[in-house]
Amino acid sequence: MKSFKGIALLIITNLLIFLTLAITGNILIYFVLPMIGIDVRGSVATHQFAWAMVFGFGGAFISLFMSKFMVKRSMRMEQVTDPQTQKEALVFNTVKELAEREGIKMPEVWVYWDDSPNAFATGPTRNSAMIAVSSGLAMNLTDDELKAVLAHEVGHIANGDMLATTLLQGLMNTFVYFFASMIARMIASVASNDEEEGGMNMIVYFVVDITLQILFSILASIVVCWFSRKREFRADAYAAEALGAESMIRALRKIEVLSQQAIPQEEVNEKDALATMKIYGAQGTISGLFATHPAIDDRVAALKQRTR
């Protein structure tokens, strides 16, 4: 029953997102832009690009603003507001101290029950973020190692990584939608010049458009994943500056060992809906292109470079 409720919630959410973007797009194209002297209603290419921007950036920003909501409902979590244990106090106070150091609002602190050692930060803005820590991470790392990981997550918030990733994802989505639609339109026009074959025209357009969206999305994901790996190095650097590189190095090495024990390697490399929230990274040339996190060895090497 719970799974059916989750599916129903997902379907309803996507329908509401589509309707919101469709209404927003029409208001933008037919009312807002003409008021400021930009009329794209008669231009097919410009009209399509405007729609691509609405859906590309709109979808990305809606996902960003719903990130906390969706995470909390997809995982068994508990918010820490009044720490009851030594570990909870360590997590809460570390996040609080680092937030005060950065001059940002205290992020929500959550713990969730999972043997896999993991932590992640999400949220729409620097002052409306959350940090979640798995029980496997909290129980298996030393205090210094755990604090280093928390500093890494605060680094993501302080660096504005969630917003930056959303902007890049929105840009990539826009180009995917626009070029797929334009190429599909040209191919469909060539394939059906006769007015009587208008139905075939739409079929060709639909098939080509969907196919190209899939292909272009794969290429765009390489760019987004590259940026994601770069932001991990920056967050590591923040943790090293805040609490020292050695603690972060030890934490990464221990997480690597614990992750391999908890999850078979073939499962680690599979596509994961929460991939951007995983600490470990994929190995190998091809898998590395689509990895949201760098390999542990690369992260450790970068941290060691800072200590020289």
| Active site residue ranges | 153
Are 131 and 119 contacting, i.e. CB atoms less than 8 angstroms apart? yes
* Nearest of 141, 96, 87 to residue 118 by alpha carbon: 141
CA dist 14 and 278 (Å) reads 25
* Nearest of 25, 20, 17 to residue 47 by alpha carbon: 25
**HEC letters along 137-153:** HHHHCCHHHHHHHHHHH
Cross-strand pairs, 109: 131
Cβ burial of 95 (10 Å; 0-12, 13-18, 19+) is: buried
**Structure-block tokens of residue 190:** 């060539």
CA dist 107 and 56 (Å) reads 28
**Structure-block tokens of residue 40:** 């794209």
